[in-house]
Structure 1
Amino acid sequence: MKKFYLLFIVSVVYGQNIMAQENLLSKEEAVVTTLENNFNIVVAKNIVEIAENNSGILNSGYLPTVTGTAGANYNKNNTNTEFPGQFSDDGSPRPDIVVNNAESQRYNSAINVNYTLFDGLGRFYNYKRLKEQYQLSELQARETIENTILQLFSVYFEIARLTENQKVLQQALEISQDRIKRAEYSFEYGQNTQLDILNAQVDVTNDSINLLNINQNLVNAKRDLNVILNQDLNNRFKVDTVVQFIPRLQLDEFIELAKNNNVAVLQSERSLAINDYDIKVSRSGYLPVIGLTGTYGWNRNQSAPSAFLSGAIFPGINSTADNIALGASLTWNLFDGGGTSVRLKNAKIAYANQELVKKQIELEVNRDILNALAIYENRLSIYYIQEQNVVTNQNNFERSEEQFKLGRITSIEFRQAQINLLNAQTNKNLAKYDAKLAELQLLQLTGQLLNVKL
């Protein structure tokens, strides 16, 4: 039995040495790595880039269209012209006229320019709409980033909590191992029974199992964080367990400005602006379209030789021509069967619906902020209470330890004091990170999650 506990102590010490060699992954480094590597964030950035391309001048319809055309034709003919029943002056049959390898060639090229001078302001409002769509895509990417950062810290703080609990359980195991030694010495001197040794060994076994379980949970949590960071799943690191809370006065300032910074509210405003431009684009269908066209063309023909009835062969000719043409057009859809009217009515209804959605979102955000603030204050109060509870249980444990060494209390009573301290420490760790996560959720709702040092 002694050999088993010795081997376990050696394995624990070895594990602690490995952990001591791990590099510290600070909160700032975790955020930077996530912003650069996380798959969801990279996809969101690509979507923003697409929206930016769509909102550029090249997709606005303001630029003219230029097309070029060119062609070439080549013909080679052999002709035989017969004159049946016809005779020459000397009475002989009229000979055939044969033209072999008669070549003809034709070349042409043209450049056409089309430009819409006026389209009822449709492209103007559509261009504005694309700009709003780009801003909406940026806000959607920001929402993805905020959710990912919140997910990052939920795992990061879980690792921190498990790390602190690991130290607590390690200390508990060392205390239980020390009890075995004391129980064995006391048994040798006849001051207690074998039962005290067995109780101490049972406690060491339980503490060992708890420590093994938390070690495994810690390894799993680190793999979860590696997934978010998009790095090697077996990458080893340790995290920062220091937590600082934002002053209440600063939180109140954030809450006051939440309407201007909350990403959901800002998205609803951009969507409302897009619907407004949809109305204007639909209304442009009532106005005429004025266009300009320009063409420059070049042609060259090389005709083949041809035969005359007189028997002579007329040689081919070459001709070259170029031309410039300018034109203007006006198209006015006086009646399109009511399609424009229907689109305009539907766009106005969509705008009214978006106004209602915006009001609903603002109401829900206000509710969520109040709830998040209440949850944060409650969890912060619990954390402060748990801090004091640790102090109380630490004092109780130290007094119990003194009494136990003096033989005034039993090992069961001492173990209970140890368990109470262990529970108080783990509850404090849980309360600390619960309060910090509640603070982060409040910061997200106020639109400040990406603007403050965490």
Structure 2
Amino acid sequence: MRYFRAVVFCCAFFVTGAASAQEVFTLEESIAFAMEKNYDIRIAKNNTAISETETELLNSGYLPRVSASGGASYSDENQSVTFADGNSADVSGAITESYNASITAEYTLFDGLERKFGNNRRKEVLLLSQLQERQEIENTIIKIHENYFNVAFQKQVVENLKINIKNSTDRLIRAQKRLKYGQGTTLDELNARVDLNNDSIAYANALRDLNNFKRNFNLVIGREVTVGFVTDTTVNFSPVPERDSLLESSKYNNIQLVLADQNILMSELDIKINRAKLLPKINGSGSYRWNESQNPPTSFALANESSGINLGLNLSWNIFDGGSNATRVKTAKITKRNREIELERVREQVRTEVLNAYETYTIAEYTLEAERKNVKTNELNFSRTQKQYSLGQITTVEFRQAQINLFNALNNYARAKYDLKIAEVNLFQLAGSLLG
């Protein structure tokens, strides 16, 4: 018996000491940490950076294209030449050298407004990326709340089980003393031992679950999974607007609806871009060229050099491309209609989710108050049961039932507290006001 109690004590002492050596990691600190380290948020931010790069002037199509070229050639040949007057000449080592260089600039003067709509689309892609980043941040905040409260709840379960072990240990000691002095039975002592053993097993399993929840939480925020911490079990609730106010806010701010609207705008630009391909294009070009050559005596000119500016204007019009562009326009129109239908579906889906979430919140609010009263009742009941048990007025079964009832009441209250907070943040997310 003494060995068993020593094992339980050492286990509890080790966990308590480890926890006291760790600093409290608040929910607010967790969210701030995740904004910098969460893997999904970092990827979303990089995707936004890519979209920002693609909207820069260098990718706009409004800058000219400039190219330069140059070359040189050399030949050493033996030549036999017959001239028009009948004379002939043989030249050994006829050397020919030529050099050239040019710089050319090209610019699209008109492209059917394809560049304009293309740039507008890239700006909307940037906005879409920013919205997707916001969505990822909101989803991560929800995950952080869920995982943080899992850790906090499990911590309280562990603490409640420690109380159970203490009460069960006291009960076993009392049963042993009664048996020793002939006031109790062996059955009472065995029942107390069994209950203490069950509490100790539950305690070990709860510690395992607590460590698992901590590792899962660290993974969510992007931290080394083995880093230890202590949660703050205090929950601060925020006032929740009325249901109609939440519904109205969700119509304009819910991230799913905003994304659906954005996708429709993208489809409209796709239609304009494909229509612009049907219009003519005008390109202008200008170049400066230089050429020089040194020729052998057999050539008409022994040396030649030229330089100058060349300008050009080109119009092209793809009058008929086999119908592929017309097909793209039709496809873009159908895609837009599908996205409009999707917007209608999302609008009803969000409305349903807000109504469901609001009902969940109101029930969670009622449950928390009921569980608070239930804890007070069970604490009073257990206190009286302890006194009656010490006086031998009730059985061990009745004492154990009061102990279990108090344990369940404490756990249910803790769970209700965290469930209400999660219901609250879910409502704010659906209303589009989670990020303020």
1:227 and 2:219 aligned: yes
2:14 maps to which residue? 14
The answer for unaligned runs of 5 or more in structure 2 is: none
**1:235 counterpart SS class:** coil
Match of 1:394 among 335, 355, 379: 379
Amino acid at match of 2:304: S
Tell me how far apart the structure 2 counterparts of residues 337 and 195 of structure 1 sit (CA, whole Å).
94
- Count of matched residue pairs: 434
Instruction: Show the counterpart of 2:282.
Output: 290
Distance 1:281 1:392, change over 3 A: same
Matched residue, 1:26: 26
TM-score (norm 2): 0.93
Q: Check conservation: 1:19, 1:238, Cα contact below 8 A.
A: yes
Residue matched to 1:187: 179
Amino acid aligned to 1:46: N
CA distance in 2, matches of 1:234, 1:343: 53
- How far, CA to CA, are the matches of 1:194 and 1:339 in structure 2? 92
Aligned to 1:273: 265
Give the Cα separation in 1 of the matches to 2:390 and 2:337: 78
- Shift in alpha-carbon separation, 1:14–1:351, aligned structure 2, 3 A: closer
2:7 and 2:333 map into 1 onto residues whose CA distance is: 77
Aligned to 1:91: none
Partner of 2:41: 41
Question: 2: CA distance between counterparts of 1:304 and 1:207?
Answer: 108
CA RMSD of aligned residues (A): 2.3
Between 1:290-299 and 1:176-185, the stretch displaced more is: 176-185
After TM superposition, the structure 1 stretch with the greater mean CA deviation from structure 2, 348-357 or 67-76, is 348-357
User: What residue is the counterpart of 1:68 in the other structure?
Assistant: 68
Q: Distance in 2 between matches of 1:226 and 1:250?
A: 35
Which of 155, 158, 166 is the matching residue for 1:163?
155
Q: Is the 8 A contact 2:246 2:354 kept in 1?
A: no
Match of 1:412 in 2: 397
CA distance 1:275–1:190, change in 2 (3 Å)? same
- Asked if residue 372 in structure 1 is aligned to residue 357 in structure 2, the reply is yes
Give TM-score scaled by structure 1 length. 0.90
Aligned counterpart, 1:178? 170
Which structure is larger by alpha-carbon Rg, 1 or 2? 1
The 8 Å contact of residues 72 and 106 in structure 1, kept in 2 or not, is answered as: yes
Deviation at 1:253, TM superposition (A): 4.6
Measure the CA separation in 2 of the matches of 1:443 and 1:346: 37
Paired letter, 2:410? Q
Tell me the distance in 1 between the aligned counterparts of 2:278 and 2:11.
82
2: CA distance, partners of 1:327 / 1:318 = 29
User: For residues 272 and 98 of structure 2, what CA distance do their matches in structure 1 show?
Assistant: 50
Aligned amino acid, residue 187 of structure 1: L
Deviations 1:182-204 (CA, angstroms, capped at 9, x unpaired): 22233333322233222221111
Q: 1:376 touches 1:438 (CA, 8 Å); kept in 2?
A: yes
Residue 400 (structure 1) shift: 0.7
Alpha carbons of 1:43 and 1:193: their partners in 2 closer, same or farther (altered >3 Å)?
Answer: same
For structure 1, the residue ranges without an aligned partner over 5 or more in a row are 87-93, 308-313
Question: 1:408 offset after TM fit, Å?
Answer: 1.2
8 A contact 2:100–2:289 mirrored in 1: yes
What is the identity percentage for the equivalent residue pairs of Structure 1 and Structure 2? 38
Residue type at the aligned position of 2:9:
I
**Cα distance between partner residues in 1 of 2:278 and 2:90:** 66
2:308 aligns with: 323
Query: Is the counterpart of residue 248 in structure 1 residue 233 in structure 2?
Result: no
Contact 1:254/1:448 (CA < 8 Å) preserved in 2?
no
Q: Is the 8 A contact 1:303 1:317 kept in 2?
A: yes
2:338 to 345, 353, 368: 353
Cα offset, 1:55, TM superposition: 2.1
Contact 1:154 1:437 in 2 (8 A): yes
Which letter does structure 2 place at the counterpart of 1:121? L
